[in-house]
Amino acid sequence: MPRTITAHLFSSVNGVVESPDRFQFDAFGPEEGELMSNALDGVTDIVIGRKLWQEWSEYWPGADDPFGAFINPVRKHVVTGSLSGDLGWNSTAVTGDPVEYVERLRESGSGGITVAGGIDTVRTLFLAGVVDTLTLTVHPVATGDGRRLFDESVPLTRLTLVDSAVTGKGNAVLTYALRR
């Protein structure tokens, strides 16, 4: 049975998803933490872009918190054109076409798969139809700095809203699928 593939990004109201640490933490509370925990429940594999993997691999192995308890043992599949060999930190370099790789990953093993980033990785896999659902936690902030997930390079793409919630901190948690 094929495995479910999800993705999640934090976003500003004007669509910026790059460097959410600049805008999310004053609007991240217990509800957001519970939603994240629920989203990661049952995930056994994470697909992640090289730059984000490098940032996280420098910080999370020594971190003692709930996300560290999740991210450290989970299998990580790193989309990269520059890394190879033994990556350490329970990580494997994705070789070849990332869409084909993730489609093969879906058909093997058990447990959920989530795509954590980066922006290009999430965009490519979502628009290719490999990601079943994309959740955007939209924070009540606008910023002029940073890249957007759906920028001018993305053709007209129709989505279906499959779930939504608004938290006490004012975040809209919106889950979409590609409209078939």
Write the pLDDT tens digit of every residue in 120-142. Answer: 999 999 999 999 999 999 999 99
Helix/strand/coil (H, E, C) string of the chain?
Answer: CCCCEEEEEEEECCCECCCHHHCCHHHCCHHHHHHHHHHHCCEEEEEEEHHHHHHHHHHHHHCCCHHHHHHCCCEEEEECCCCCCCCCCCEEEECCCHHHHHHHHHCCCCCEEEEEECHHHHHHHHHCCCCCEEEEEEECCCCCCCCECCCCCCCCCCEEEEEEEECCCCCEEEEEEECC
In this prediction, residue 65 carries a pLDDT of 87
Q: How far apart are CA 48 and CA 176, in angstroms?
A: 20
Q: pLDDT-based confidence at 180, cuts 50/70/90?
A: confident
The sheet with strand 172-178 has its strands ordered as 91-94, 75-79, 43-49, 112-117, 5-12, 133-139, 172-178, 159-166
Q: What percent of the chain has pLDDT over 90?
A: 82
Q: How confident is the model over 46-56, as a mean pLDDT?
A: 95
- Going by DSSP bridges, is the β-strand pair 75-79/112-117 parallel, antiparallel, or unpaired? unpaired
For residue 87, pLDDT beyond 90? yes
For residue 149, pLDDT beyond 90? yes
* pLDDT, the chain, mean: 94
Q: How far apart are CA 147 and CA 17, in angstroms?
A: 6
In this prediction, residue 85 carries a pLDDT of 76
Q: Token pair for residue 43? A: 């995930």
In this prediction, residue 73 carries a pLDDT of 95
In this prediction, residue 1 carries a pLDDT of 75
For residue 144, say if its preceding peptide bond is cis, omega within 30 degrees of 0. no
